[in-house]
Amino acid sequence: MSKVQVMDHPLIQHKVNYIRRKEVGSKEFREIVGEIAALMCYEATRDLKLQDVEIETPICKMVGKELSGKKLAVVPILRAGLGMVDGMLSMIPAAKVGHIGLYRDPETYEPVEYYCKLPADCDEREVFVVDPMLATGGSSVAAIQMLKEKGVKHIRFMCIIAAPEGVERMQKEHPDVDIYIGALDEKLNEHKYIIPGLGDAGDRIFGTK
C-alpha cells in the first residue's frame, strides 16, 4: 500500500491556511502556491538516494554526498498544476517537465483528456505529478494511468489539499504511488468541491471567473 504523508511542517500549514481565505487575490495566491510547492518538494524528497562524490574545494580534496539514482521529472496536471511547477523547480532545477491536460466535466465530474507531452526519457525518471487539488481523484488517477501507459514506473503524487474520497480512490487504483498532501480536508460537497477547501484552484491561480 502506498504511503500517505500529510505535511506537518508549520510553514506549510500556515501558508495553506492563508490561501484558503476568499479575499486572497490571484497574485498572492499564485505566489504562495509556489512557496508551498517548494516546501512540499523539500519534504517529499527526503528519501532520495545519495552517492559519495570526490571533489576538490579551494583547500583540499574531499568526498561528499550528491544525488544519485534516477533523474527526476515534474508533471503538472493542467491547468492548476502549473502553479506548482516553479516551486518544484526551485528545489530540483535539473528536473524535466512534462504536461498532462485534463479538465473535470462539470456534469459528470469525470476527467477529460486534452493534452499530453512528456520528456522522451520519462520512463527512466522518477516522476512527481503535481496538482493543487485531489477531490474525487478522477483527474490524478487518470493522469497517473497515462504515465503508466507510457512506461513510467516510479511515480509520486503531490497536492496541496485533498479530500478523503480522493485519497481512498488513489490508494485503490494506484497502490504503488506515494501521496504527499499539504492539508487533508473533511469531505466533498454535492458539486464535488472540497469542504472547506479553497474553491477552484485553477480559477484562483489564473484569475478566471
Cell output for 126:
522518477
Window 54-83: residues binding ligand PRP (CB under 6 A): 77-80
Interaction of residue 85 with ligand PRP, rule CB under 6 A: no
Cell output for 78:
493542467
Interaction of residue 133 with ligand URA, rule CB under 6 A: yes
Interaction of residue 174 with ligand PRP, rule CB under 6 A: no
Q: How far is the CB of 16 from ligand URA (least distance, A)?
A: 13
- 207 annotated as ligand-binding: no
Interaction of residue 39 with ligand PRP, rule CB under 6 A: no
Q: How far is the CB of 78 from ligand URA (least distance, A)?
A: 12
**Beta carbon nearer to ligand URA, 135 or 158:** 135
Residues 21, 108, 121, 208: which is the catalytic one?
Answer: 108
Among residues 208, 209, 204, which one has the least CA distance to residue 33?
204
203 included as an active-site residue: yes
8 included as an active-site residue: no
Among residues 102, 170, 95, which one has the least CA distance to residue 136?
170
Cell output for 34:
509556489
Torsion 154-151-164-191 (CA) sign: positive
Secondary structure (3-state) at 192: coil
Encode 70-85: b = buried (16+ Cβ within 10 Å), e = exposed: eebbbbbbbbbbbbbb
The CA angle 29-35-37, to the nearest 5 degrees, is 100
Helices and strands: H and E segment counts in the chain: 6, 13
> Pick from 16, 135, 179, 205: which binds ligand URA (CB under 6 A)?
135
- 179 annotated as ligand-binding: no
Residues 6 or more apart from 87 whose CB is under 8 A from it? 33, 34, 35, 36, 37, 38, 39, 40, 41
Interaction of residue 135 with ligand PRP, rule CB under 6 A: yes
200 included as an active-site residue: yes
> Pick from 166, 167, 180, 185: which binds ligand PRP (CB under 6 A)?
166
State the binding string over 187-206 for ligand URA (x if CB under 6 A, else -). ------xx--x--xxx----
Chain positions contacting ligand URA, by CB under 6 A: 80, 133, 135, 193-194, 197, 200-202
Annotated binding site: 79, 104, 131-139, 194, 199-201
Annotated catalytic residues are: 104, 108, 200, 203
